[in-house]
Amino acid sequence: RAAAPRKRLISDADLAGIFVTNPTRRIFGKTGPTKLDIAVYYAAVGDFMLPHILGRPVSLVRCPTVKPEDCFFQRHAFTGMPATMVSFETQNSDGEARSYIAVEDAKAYLALAQFGVVEFHIWGSHRQSIDKPDRAVFDLDPGEGIGWREVVEAAIHVRGELENFGLVPFVKTSGGKGIHVVVPVKKKIGWRQFHQACSEISTRIAATAPETFTTTMGAENRRKRIFIDFHRNARSHTAAAPYTLRRRPHMPASTPLEWNDLESIDAAEDLNYSSLPGLLAASGDPWADMDDFARELPAPAKAKK
Ligand code: ATP
Ligand code: MN
Ligand code: MN
C-alpha cells in the first residue's frame, strides 16, 4: 500500500495563528519538551493526524504543570476551550446524558497546545454516526517479562489471524510498551455487537498461540504473556489516537507504521516529538487510505443487540 499524497488541512494562515503563552515552560518532566515544542510537533504532523481524529469524540490529556501526576483526562467541554471545538451531548456508560468534545477543524486542533494538551484519545466512531463504530483496536499489552521484539512478533501473528478473518489490519506503536493493531470496519453494527465480535476474534486469536496470548485481565494472567485488550472497542471507551504524543520520558508518539517497517523499530520511544515530524514528511502517513479497506467483522456466534 503506497502512502496517499499529502493533503493540506492546515493552511499557512492557521500556522501563523498559533498562539502559546509561556513557550519555554517544560510541559512534562524537568528536561522534557517545552509547550512550544508540543505546539510545533502537532502543527508539523497535523496534516497526517487530523484525518484520523476529525469528528470523533476525543479525550485530551492535559498537563498543567511540570509534574506528571498533575496530568488529567479531559473528556468534557471546558472553560475557555477553543471556540471551534465542538461540544455535544450523548449518553455516558451509565446511560446519562453528558457533554463530550470533538475536534472538527484545524484551528481547534492547533489551539489545544495552549491548554497544555499532550495526548489525544479517540472513540472508535464519529460523532455524526456515534453508534456505528468504524475502527476496531486490538491493544496488545505485554505483561511482565515480555520484551519489545516479542510484542512485534505477536503483532505480526495477530495480523495474519485477522487477515484470515478477511480483515485488513494496520499497525501503530502505542507510544508505551505495546502495539495497537487497528482494523477499519464498515459502519453497520452497534457497539454491543461490535464489542462482542472483537471479543470473539480476540479469543480465537489467543487460542492459536495460548503460550503467547491471554484475553483475561489481571497481572497474573499476563505474566510472560500478551494481553489482547479488546475492551477499547466499547461505547465511550477510547484508544490513543494515531500520532498522539504520550506523557512518558522522551515523549514518544503513537506511530502508524507500514507492516514491513515494524521489525526495524528497535524501541518505540525512538519515534517521538522530535524525530517523527521529519520521518513523516519523508514517508507520508501509512494509514492514509485506511478507510478504503473497511470490511465487516465476522458475525459473532453469540448474538447481542
Ligand atoms: P501501552 O502500550 O503502554 O499499553 P496504551 O495506550 O495501549 O499504551 P493502555 O493502558 O493499554 O495504554 O490503554 C489505556 C487506554 O484507556 C488509553 O489508551 C486511554 O484511551 C484509556 N484511558 C486510560 N485512562 C483513562 C482515563 N482516566 N480516562 C479516560 N480514558 C482512559
Ligand atoms: Mn495498551
Ligand atoms: Mn490496554
Rounded mean pLDDT of 10-29? 92
The pLDDT, as a whole number, for residue 219 is: 74
Q: Is the CB of 141 under 6 A from ligand 1?
A: yes
Q: Is the CB of 240 under 6 A from ligand 1?
A: yes
pLDDT of 303 higher than 80 = no
Distance 247 CA to ligand 3 centre (A): 16
- Taking alpha carbons only, the member of 159, 230, 212, 202 closest to residue 298 is 202
- Tell me, what amino acid is at 82? P
Q: Is the CB of 229 under 6 A from ligand 1?
A: yes
Distance 94 CA to ligand 3 centre (A): 21
Question: d(Cα 255, Cα 132) in Å, to the nearest integer?
Answer: 25
The pLDDT, as a whole number, for residue 7 is: 79
47 or 5: whose pLDDT is higher? Answer: 47
pLDDT of 170 higher than 90 = yes
CB 58 within 8 A of CB 121: yes
CB 226 within 8 A of CB 146: yes
Average pLDDT of the chain, as a whole number: 94
- Taking alpha carbons only, the member of 133, 120, 106 closest to residue 8 is 106
> Which three-class secondary structure state does DSSP give residue 58?
strand
Given ligand 1 and candidates 52, 56, 59, which is best to mutate, with the most ligand atoms within 8 Å of its CB? Answer: 59
Q: What are phi and psi of 139, to 5 degrees?
A: -90, 105
Q: Is the CB of 72 under 6 A from ligand 1?
A: no
pLDDT of 305 higher than 80 = no
CB 136 within 8 A of CB 166: no
The residue with cell 492459536 is: 208
Rounded mean pLDDT of 22-33? 88
pLDDT of 304 higher than 70 = no
> Which three-class secondary structure state does DSSP give residue 44?
helix
C-alpha cell at 195: 464489542
Question: d(Cα 105, Cα 50) in Å, to the nearest integer?
Answer: 8
Whether the complex's predicted ipTM surpasses the cut of 0.90: yes
pLDDT of 2 higher than 60 = no
The pLDDT, as a whole number, for residue 269 is: 95
Give the distance, in angstroms, between the CA of residue 230 and the centroid of all CA atoms in the same chain.
Answer: 14
Distance 131 CA to ligand 2 centre (A): 23
Sign of CA dihedral 226, 170, 90, 129: negative
- Tell me, what amino acid is at 233? N
Distance 139 CA to ligand 3 centre (A): 6
The pLDDT, as a whole number, for residue 6 is: 63
C-alpha cell at 120: 489525544
Specify the ligand 1 atom closest to the Cα of 229: 11
Given ligand 1 and candidates 61, 69, 73, which is best to mutate, with the most ligand atoms within 8 Å of its CB? Answer: 73
* Radius of gyration (C-alpha) of the chain in whole angstroms: 19
pLDDT of 174 higher than 60 = yes
188 band by pLDDT with thresholds 50, 70 and 90 = very high
Half-sphere exposure of 265 (CA within 13 A, CB side): 34
Q: What is the largest CA-CA distance in the chain?
A: 55
Closest residue by Cα to atom 2, ligand 1, is 178
63-66 long-range Cβ contacts below 8 angstroms, 24+ apart? 63/27, 63/28, 63/116, 63/118, 63/247, 64/116, 66/25, 66/26, 66/27, 66/28, 66/29, 66/30, 66/32
Specify the ligand 1 atom closest to the Cα of 178: 2
75-116: pLDDT as tens digits: 999 999 999 999 999 999 899 999 999 999 999 999 999 999
C-alpha cell at 44: 508539523
124-169: pLDDT as tens digits: 999 999 999 999 999 999 999 999 999 999 999 999 999 999 999 9
